[in-house]
Structure 1
Amino acid sequence: MTLLPAEIDARFAVARQIADAVLFEGYVLYPYRASAAKNRLRWQFGVLVPPGYGQDSAEHSTQRTECVMEPRRGAALAVQLRFLRAQRRTVQRALPEGGFETVQELELADRVLQAWDEGVEERVELLLPVEKLADDGVLHPFRLAAREEQEPIQRDGAVIGRLLRRREQLDGVLRLRTQEVPGPYRAVRLTAVVENTSAWLPPPDGRRADALPYSLVSAHLLLALDRGAFLSATDPPQWARAAVAECRSEHTWPVLVGGPQCEDVVLSSPIILEDHPQVAPESPGALYDATEIDEILALRTAALTDREKREARGTDERAGAVIDLADSMPAEVLERLHGAVRALREVTAPTGEQEQPWWDPGNDREVDPERDQVVVDGRSVGAGSRVLLKPGRRRTDAQDLFLHGRTALVEAVLHDVDGSVHLAVTVEGDPGADLWRAQGRFRYFQPDEVAPLEET
């Protein structure tokens, strides 16, 4: 394991901030208590399980990242594999006659301690000359030894219990290699594979929770070139598009990280991101809750009872930090969480001019939704026509399939900017049809998804 130079480690700081915001989602969910039902199934992203468990589950034991980069002569590649290691915590109470017994919870004045799987951040770091990655590349195995710790719990100077923490042995391998890609410029395809090689085998009734202590949790890669640049996986230059299209990333996705002009750092994440992702500056801190909305979670967290807050503080240090954040958040900080305008543009045209959209159907005399007709099965269909609905399976909304065989009234014939035609309809027999019509809310079908009906 090689420690990265301070300069490269500093460049990784932005990538780590994004990774922490995204990949630690689901680490501990609101209401941030170990006893909450939804905190019994955690860590949904980037979990690399032992191969012996992955064969019979939907989890994977490997991640594969491929991207194209342009290293300069003599360039070095910095690699940082980051993941959480599940640390199983057991709560024990001291017995009057000596010794300890395992209990469900231990209540203290400021917190309520319960059994919990803590997440300990681990890193595997490499700094390698790019030229060394050619041909067979580099294979770097790593092993994290099993470890046990004890933490006494005291009250008024007397030991009333203890926390037992255990980490299991974890084995893995990091494979790196490059291949030249054709083109007018010197570029190579980098392949980085992270694999969990732990020998643990699940018992006959083994569950996912049993495999987590032997897994790489929220695993992701940070990559940096000291001299050179990476090419975007979504918007590469024209000359490199074929080479980028041949890249195959599995269970992860590489994006450029940093400012819009930064091209020397990549975050390969198990969650698909866009290039140059950013954490909203209004966000006051990590809330760890998947699909979090800062304002709602801050308000709901502040509304927890004192007992619930004590239980959250006893669940995990990160959960306790969320409680403290919600309790101490100033009103002006909470106010900023309502939303923010990122950019403004002038919407009024210069004096004497009137800005018009390139196509305005309301001002186009060639289209009239209430009078236009379209030919379906040799018959003209327009507003007021009755039709039989037969939604197409390939392109329709899934809920529209429930309307198959129902009759409907055509309200308008609409043309879009691509030249396609859509029929706006209300379903006959729908008690809310008049309300939908008054609000201009309809269901939309293409001409080949309806059949004209005889007028009655």
Structure 2
Amino acid sequence: MPTDRPSSRIDCAEPVADAILYEGYLLYPYRRSSAKNRVRWQFGVLVPPAWAAAHGLVDSGVAGSAESPCQQTECLLEASDSARVRIRLRFLHLQRKLAEERTAGGYRPVDRIETGGRSELSFDEAVPREFDIEASVGDLRRGRRLDVRVPGGEDVEPLVDHQGEPVGRVVRRRWPLSASVTVSAAPAEAPFPLLRLAIRVENTDGTTPPDSTRDEALRHCLLAVHTLATVSRGRFLSLLDPPEWAACAVRECRNVHTFPVLAGEPGSADVLLSSPIILYDHPQIAPESPGDLHDAAEIDEILSLRTLTLSDAEKREARATDPRAAAIIDRVDAMPPEVLERLHGAIRSLAPVRRGGDAAPEERPWWEPDSDDGIAPESEMVLVAGAALTRGSRVRLRPRRRGTDAHDMFLEGRTARVEQVLLDVDGSRFLAVTVDDDPGAELHQWYGRLRHFRPEEVEPLTGEVASP
């Protein structure tokens, strides 16, 4: 069933959810001719099951860009049977935009059409979709299922020249989608009453031939799939930082191609966001951000400045590529200097400098490098548990639960090779490593995309030195 008016609790989480919905929708420089915009729809893609089986796509992995016929979220919930749970499924529906030129016999598809100072390119767009399922916790103990049906459709927009004569049209075409959402609640292993809430979203399309191309299969795919959940008179537990008594229950949770975090205002626990992009608890959109740039992994200031450097011809192509791209170009072009200046940075809070060069274990200073940055000068070695770790040393990873990269938690217990020992500006050391059995390790070594850990987050594998 289509969603009714969203609750205020879901409302406060939807700005972050929208960033996920349109992450990668269209990347800078927002032009169809850009190579990185020719292979699209990278996150949360649920494909038809027969097509998935024919292409060897399986239900494994936590999150990321892998395509699959389903997503599964499992989270922990404290609530009575009378509490009510609302699940909101959100995704994009592919819409193919075709520019067509008027001919004597009707219309014919063309790559581009220009008229009346307007330019339109044939390109893929997408339409947002939302569906809700709501039930009491008592009902969810017996399980609930929502069958999702989205009809296909076609919209036609005439194009005229300066004299008002018809010269062509833009046809936007959508194909039908079929999916299901299954929600259930079951007791979890814990010393106190606790439920494991399971949300499974499946593409149930049966019309796509297994030998279809990816472009053909995408017509019947759910794109950028994620779910929002709220509970009345109850609370969700964080899987990233659970109470000690719930540790066993956390290990029971199986999340496939998505991962749930607490959402909404910091300190609240009645809203959950399960996303194909792994986030921290209570993710927020920076208040300085003037609007979505579809490249949420990047920095607003950099993207805005780069967009301003586009030539008039490049901006014209971007506007012809997609209405959302046109909105970005227009917004950045009209951005007042004071708004652009605010994007340069903001201080959220201040903390005292600690002596000895080490911050408290629960803190992550603003200067600490993340998994993509190797900004510190290289040091020679660091002592950990009496062992001297240098380039080539092997370690076992024990990432912190708090104040660390959310992705690092999935590396718990994995072994790695030390690539660099880095010295930060205040004398703190960090280990830059490549993870064993990572198929991209050699590539990461080549261009320096390493994972960074504090010395207390690793265990030396004594006597083991990796090959250079």
- Shorter-chain TM-score: which interval? 0.7 to 0.9
User: 1:240 Cα shift?
Assistant: 1.9
2:416 to 395, 411, 436: 395
1:338 shift after superposition: 1.6
> Which runs of no fewer than 5 residues in structure 1 stay unpaired?
348-354, 361-368, 382-386, 401-413, 418-444, 451-456
State the match for 1:62 in structure 2: 70
TM-score in terms of structure 2 length? 0.74
Q: 1:303 aligns with which of 309, 314, 318?
A: 309
2:17 counterpart SS class: helix
The one-letter code matched in structure 1 to 2:91 is F
Q: Could you say what secondary structure the match of 2:76 adopts? A: strand
Q: Secondary structure at the match of 1:334?
A: helix
* 282-291 vs 112-121, which moves further: 282-291
Query: Deviation of residue 399 (structure 1)?
Result: 8.8
Partner residue, 1:454: none
Matched residue, 2:399: none
- 1:105 positional shift: 0.1
Kindly report the root-mean-square deviation, in angstroms, between the aligned alpha carbons of the 2 structures.
3.2
Q: Distance in 2 between matches of 1:325 and 1:3?
A: 30
Structure-to-structure mapping, 1:321-336, within 5 angstroms? 321-336=327-342
Q: 2:319·2:329 contact (CA, 8 Å) conserved in 1?
A: yes
Displacement of 1:173: 0.7
1:99 has 2:98 as partner:
no
**What CA distance in whole angstroms lies between the structure 2 residues aligned with 1:288 and 1:213?**
21
Q: Deviation of residue 46 (structure 1)?
A: 0.4
| Alignment correspondent of 1:11 | 9
What SS does the aligned partner of 2:345 have? coil
Residue matched to 1:72: 80
The alpha-carbon deviation at position 181 of structure 1 amounts to 2.4
* Aligned counterpart, 1:130: 137
Using the size of structure 1 for normalisation, the TM-score is 0.76
Residue pair 1:252, 1:270 contacting (<8 A) in 2 also:
yes
Cα deviation digits, residues 404-454 of structure 1 (max 9, x gap)? xxxxxxxxxx9989xxxxxxxxxxxxxxxxxxxxxxxxxxx998468xxxx
Give the Å deviation of 1:346: 4.5
Whether the 8 Å CA contact 1:111–1:312 is kept in 2: the answer is no
Distance 1:309 1:236 in 2: 48
Task: Specify whether residues 3 and 218 from structure 1 end up closer, same or farther in structure 2 by C-alpha distance, changes over 3 A only.
Answer: closer
- The match for 1:279 among 259, 278, 285 is 285
In 1, the alpha carbon distance for the partners of 2:144 and 2:181 equals 8
Aligned to 1:269, which of 269, 275, 291? 275
1:197 and 2:204 equivalent? Answer: yes
- The residue number in structure 1 matching 2:424 is none
| Cα distance between partner residues in 2 of 1:2 and 1:89 | 25
For these two proteins, the number of residue pairs brought into alignment is 379
Match of 1:234 among 240, 256, 266: 240
Structure 2, unaligned stretches of length 5 or more?
58-66, 360-379, 396-414, 422-426, 431-459
Contact 2:48 2:204 in 1 (8 A): yes
Distance 1:143 1:281 in 2: 36
Q: Which secondary structure does the structure 2 equivalent of 1:395 belong to? A: strand
Structure 1 segment 322-401 matched on structure 2, within 5 A? 322-347=328-353, 356-357=355-356, 392=394, 395-397=416-418
Letter in 2 for 1:357: G
The equivalent residue for 2:300 is 294
The DSSP-based 3-state class of the residue aligned with 1:301 is helix
**What are the Cα deviations for residues 123-144 of structure 1, in whole angstroms up to 9, with x where unaligned?**
1111112211113x11221211
1:398: how far off? 5.8
The structure 1 residue matched to 2:253, chosen from 247, 250, 266, is 247
After superposition, what is the alpha-carbon deviation per residue over 1:245-292, rounded to whole angstroms, capped at 9, x for unaligned?
Answer: 211111000011112221111000001101001111121111112522
Deviates more, 1:288-297 or 1:230-239: 288-297
The answer on whether the counterparts of 1:23 and 1:271 sit within 8 Å (CA) in structure 2 is no
**Correspondent of 2:187 among 177, 180, 186:** 180
Q: Which of the residues 320, 331, 336 maps onto 1:314?
A: 320
Which residue in the other structure is 1:259 paired with?
265
Residue 25 (structure 1) aligns with: 23
Residue by residue over 1:151-193, the C-alpha shift from the partner in whole angstroms, topping out at 9 and shown as x without a partner, is 1112232211111111111111111111022444332111110
Give 2:356's aligned amino acid: P
Residue 200 of structure 1, CA deviation: 3.0
Q: Deviations over 1:166-223 (max 9, x none)?
A: 111111111111102244433211111000010133464x332221111000000010
Distance 2:306 2:156 in 1: 34
**AA matched with 1:154:** V
